[in-house]
Structure 1
Amino acid sequence: MGHSQELSKFKRGTVISCHLCDKSIHELSLLLNITRSPVSGIVQKWKQLGTTATQPQSGRPHKMAKRGQHMLKCTGLDLAP
């Protein structure tokens, strides 16, 4: 889900329970006030893996968050090579 906030377990469960009641992706999107892309991603993941839990991600996390990097750039102490 990119840079947006991750959906709670409750909302993901709600998406699946509404999907099991034969609601379309569009109907789910309107009903839960979530865009269609995350709704279809949740349903697709549930169909393939049988779970809506987030999977472990590969790669090493950044030492500093984007906000901290931005603050350093604003003060003139840019650490990027």
Structure 2
Amino acid sequence: MGCHLCNKSIRDISWLLNIPRSTVSGIITKWKQLGTTATQPPSGRPRKMTEWGQHMLKRTVRRSHQLSAESIAKDIQTSCGLQISTTTVRRDLHGMGFHGRAAAAKPYITKCNAKRRMQWCKARHHWTLEQGRCVL
């Protein structure tokens, strides 16, 4: 006794089950090639950084965000016992949205300059918006 879907076209099966034609086609192709529709193990090497390791990495970076990738890798190795490279640390940090940036150099305002700025502002506090736009 056969299946009631065996003699149907992909379009008919898709319509009967209310699933996309591409899904039906993929399942039929997988069955013909492998003899099963079970999910196959993924190809490639498993990731070195576990979910817990990524959590620890994020905590480490948020706690002290000026550490180098080398020091973060050493910290993760001691705390989690994972032997990971600095390249792995950088790749995972980029994936989490952390990127290395040089801090913008912002000069300090001297007391003399602060006093001059305050005098300038006080002399012009009665200005209209249009007069202020002329300065900018």
TM value normalised by structure 1? 0.51
The CA distance in 2 between the partners of 1:58 and 1:78, in whole Å, is 26
Which residue number in structure 2 is paired with residue 24 of structure 1?
9
The CA distance in 1 between the partners of 2:50 and 2:9, in whole Å, is 41
Q: CA RMSD in A?
A: 2.6
| Long gaps (5+) in structure 1 | 1-16, 65-76
In the alignment, structure 1 residue 38 sits paired with structure 2 residue 23: yes
In the alignment, structure 1 residue 79 sits paired with structure 2 residue 79: no
| Long gaps (5+) in structure 2 | 52-95, 101-136
Q: CA deviation at 1:58?
A: 2.0
Identity of aligned residues (%): 54
Which residue number in structure 2 is paired with residue 47 of structure 1?
32
Q: CA deviation at 1:79?
A: 2.5
One-letter amino acid of the counterpart of residue 33, structure 1: N
Q: CA deviation at 1:54?
A: 0.8
Structure 1's 80 and 40: CA in aligned 2 closer, same or farther, altered over 3 A? Answer: farther
Paired residue secondary structure (1:53) = coil
Deviation string 1:17-70 (CA, Å, 9 cap, x unpaired) is: 4542x0110001111010011100000110111101011112435856xxxxxx
The CA distance in 1 between the partners of 2:5 and 2:19, in whole Å, is 14
Higher RCO structure, 1 or 2 (CA under 8 Å, sep 6+): 1
Which residue number in structure 1 is paired with residue 84 of structure 2?
none
Structure 1's 80 and 36: CA in aligned 2 closer, same or farther, altered over 3 A? Answer: farther
| Count of residues in Structure 1 that have an aligned counterpart in Structure 2 | 52
